[in-house]
Structure 1
Amino acid sequence: MRGGGRATREFLQPNTDGSVFGAVHLGYVVVQSNRLADWRRFGADAIGIHVDELGTDALRLRLDDRACRFLVERGPAEDVMALGWHVDDHETFDRIVARVTDRGVPITEGTPEQAALRGVERLWRFAGPKGMAQEIFTAAVTTPQPLRMLSSGWVTGEAGQGHVAIISREPEAMRCYYHTVFDSRLSDYIDENVSGLKMKIRFLRVNERHHSIAIANLRGVKIDPIRTRVQHINIQSATLDDMLASFQRVKELGFRMAWSVGQHTNDRELSFYCVTPSGFELEVGWNPIVIGPELESTWEPSTYRGISIWGHSTVGETVLDKFTQFRQALRTVTTPEITVPELTGGLSR
């Protein structure tokens, strides 16, 4: 494990104005799937992650000394069910709880069984966008058990385990949600043309990672072209060789590649995208920009034209794939997206 933290302790502490920015980090992701054997092979053999089997009904994927970074529980959803956020201290935790409860959104404590599976001492849950529970915790369980994985390491530390990208028909509501709860800051925008449709992507940071949440929407069209709640989850390789080796293994083992290796315009990360056994994508990246204290003090959001400087070409997409996506998008037209209006300033359809 290589920590991503270059920020000073002052940068990480809540600001004197009550902000929690810098003290919140993506800690784990909870997935529900009936394809546990595929997930084990995908994680351990293709991506190169440490995988622990918890009986016949759950897997835990490790990136570092924490007991869990991905929890894959048996179930039919084939989707992300919850995002776990590590909060640095009890003062910050209390601020977040107050923000949520003061606006009338219930918070419930997770069961001891849920906490144990996620590798945390205790956790609390509340409603999140698109039906994904948001879970917060202050103490992660670490383990002395050596990592058994093909990769030499992953960048976590103060930047958290990576980022989550979501396609939303209510992008402003989602942006306001994460600003209300975590004091997220806008890093930048990307405008992209996808199959003739204009897409705008907002990138939000809650710590030194360039973005922990990316929110994409098709401008002027209230559709969601994908089945899953998230479009992709990102993890960051410690070395370029690690990233390229996992790319090669994914191809050799027959897992579906979504986008070839390329470099992004905004955070300059080199990465590729492959499809997980549950259908959402995993981005494996290397060396994105870190917005540490010096950059933070002068950072101004910009708008970039296009997602990539080079590469990131689609791989293996067929006419049938496009038709399936279009049919899925039509189903969403008459179904409102789940938002939490109490935490978005009332912004929702």
Structure 2
Amino acid sequence: MNADPDVFGSVHLGYIVMETNRFTDWRRFGTDAIGMHHDDLSRDLMRFRLDDHACRFLLRRGPAEDVVAIGWHLDDHTTFEQIEARVRAHGVPVATGTAEEAGLRGVERLLRFAGPKGITQEIYTTPVLAADPLTMLASGWVTGDSGMGHVAITSARPALTRGYFDTVFDARLTDYIDETISGVKLKIRFLRVDERHHSIAIAAVHGLPIDPIRTRVQHLNIQAASLDDLARSYERIHELGFDMALSVGQHTNDRELSYYARTPSGFEWEIGWNPLVVDESTWEPSTHQGISVWGHTPVGQTIVDRLGQFRIAARSLLHPEKTVPALSGGGIP
């Protein structure tokens, strides 16, 4: 734990930066299927909005087909300077974003530093609010004090990954899920930085230092404002021919109703509705057996897909996962 004042509750998931060459497919996926507001900035840049913030997802042209940065909205400059001091005190380089980079992300003050799995972590204080009203198929999305959703990653070094978010953001363990998928035993750690049940989920293969996912992230989540929004987006995914990964179901731990679609870049996108909000005065971490009370059944997965995952997992043994040991606190189980 950090000796300086706790920043828990002053940190919120703010934006995601992705790199892709599939702009046409992403435009259809984000706008016509999911139902977000879309802005073209140039041939090589576009953004999606969920609310009055100018940017929630920034897509830039490039070959990664993956998330490359996560932006964290901090409540005030004191928290910003405190986290900056923590990172510097551990000997990890920090870089100040240029005015152009901050502008693309819709923020006024930007700092970046290394994060787990090669995902750059960025912090900012004041978001820029868009002048134009939202134009989108969804009625709205839940953001505010809960942040804009969550990020789920797989890790061969879960203790170090959890230690990182504890060291940098004073993340708290919400709970665990033990699950077996295709004969592989997983332990999933759920971490929160504010009232949202989790902003980061870390899945690891039990007892094996392998990573079965090609992308840095396994899925991204955003929260629909209504059950009708969730149902209509589910319908549009099918109508537009995008792949579904998991059908509608309800999670055991946060009780969120959700489904998972497959994005044009290959990782998954979860649309959720009505997750519980953590009461800090009474919450105690626990372990749940299985990710779902009901539903969330795989859609269209073949034996070829499963074999492909095993090949990716085997290759991960040859390429050690990127970590930031100086910020990982020695690893927290």
TM-score range relative to shorter protein:
over 0.9
Cα deviation for residue 195 of structure 1 reads: 1.0
C-alpha distance in structure 1 between counterparts of 2:300 and 2:291, whole Å: 19
Runs of 4+ deviating beyond 3 Å: none
Alignment of 1:330-349 (within 5 A): 330-347=314-331
Q: Which letter does structure 1 place at the counterpart of 2:134?
A: L
Q: Which letter does structure 1 place at the counterpart of 2:91?
A: G
RMSD over aligned Cα atoms: 1.3
C-alpha distance in structure 2 between counterparts of 1:69 and 1:30, whole Å: 9
Question: What residue is the counterpart of 2:274 in the other structure?
Answer: 287
Question: What residue is the counterpart of 1:310 in the other structure?
Answer: 294
Question: What residue is the counterpart of 1:296 in the other structure?
Answer: 280
Alignment of 1:44-83 (within 5 A): 44-83=31-70
Q: Secondary structure at the match of 2:152?
A: strand
Cα deviation for residue 20 of structure 1 reads: 0.1
User: Is 1:258 the counterpart of 2:245 in the alignment?
Assistant: yes
Question: What residue is the counterpart of 2:5 in the other structure?
Answer: 18
Cα deviation for residue 324 of structure 1 reads: 1.4
Question: What residue is the counterpart of 1:156 in the other structure?
Answer: 143
Percent of residue pairs identical: 65
From 221, 232, 235, the equivalent of 1:245 is 232
User: Is 1:328 the counterpart of 2:312 in the alignment?
Assistant: yes
Output one character per residue of 1:234-255: Cα deviation in whole Å (capped at 9) or x when no partner.
0000000000100010011000
Cα deviation for residue 75 of structure 1 reads: 0.4
Q: Which letter does structure 2 place at the counterpart of 1:309?
A: V
C-alpha distance in structure 2 between counterparts of 1:344 and 1:143, whole Å: 36
Question: What residue is the counterpart of 1:86 in the other structure?
Answer: 73
Residue 162 of structure 2 contacts residue 331 of structure 2 at CA under 8 Å; is this kept in 1? Answer: no
C-alpha distance in structure 2 between counterparts of 1:46 and 1:299, whole Å: 36
From 94, 99, 102, the equivalent of 1:115 is 102
C-alpha distance in structure 1 between counterparts of 2:131 and 2:97, whole Å: 25
Q: Which letter does structure 1 place at the counterpart of 2:106?
A: G
Deviates further, 125-134 or 105-114:
105-114
Q: Secondary structure at the match of 1:130?
A: helix
C-alpha distance in structure 2 between counterparts of 1:55 and 1:180, whole Å: 37
Structure 1 residue runs of 5 or longer lacking an equivalent are: 1-14
Cα deviation for residue 319 of structure 1 reads: 1.4
C-alpha distance in structure 2 between counterparts of 1:248 and 1:178, whole Å: 36
User: Is 1:198 the counterpart of 2:185 in the alignment?
Assistant: yes
TM-score between the two structures when normalised by the length of structure 2: 0.98
C-alpha distance in structure 2 between counterparts of 1:117 and 1:97, whole Å: 21
Q: Which letter does structure 1 place at the counterpart of 2:192?
A: R
C-alpha distance in structure 2 between counterparts of 1:288 and 1:17, whole Å: 31
User: Is 1:278 the counterpart of 2:265 in the alignment?
Assistant: yes
Q: Which letter does structure 1 place at the counterpart of 2:319?
A: T
User: Is 1:220 the counterpart of 2:207 in the alignment?
Assistant: yes
Structure 2 residue runs of 5 or longer lacking an equivalent are: none
Alignment of 1:160-171 (within 5 A): 160-171=147-158
Cα deviation for residue 346 of structure 1 reads: 3.8
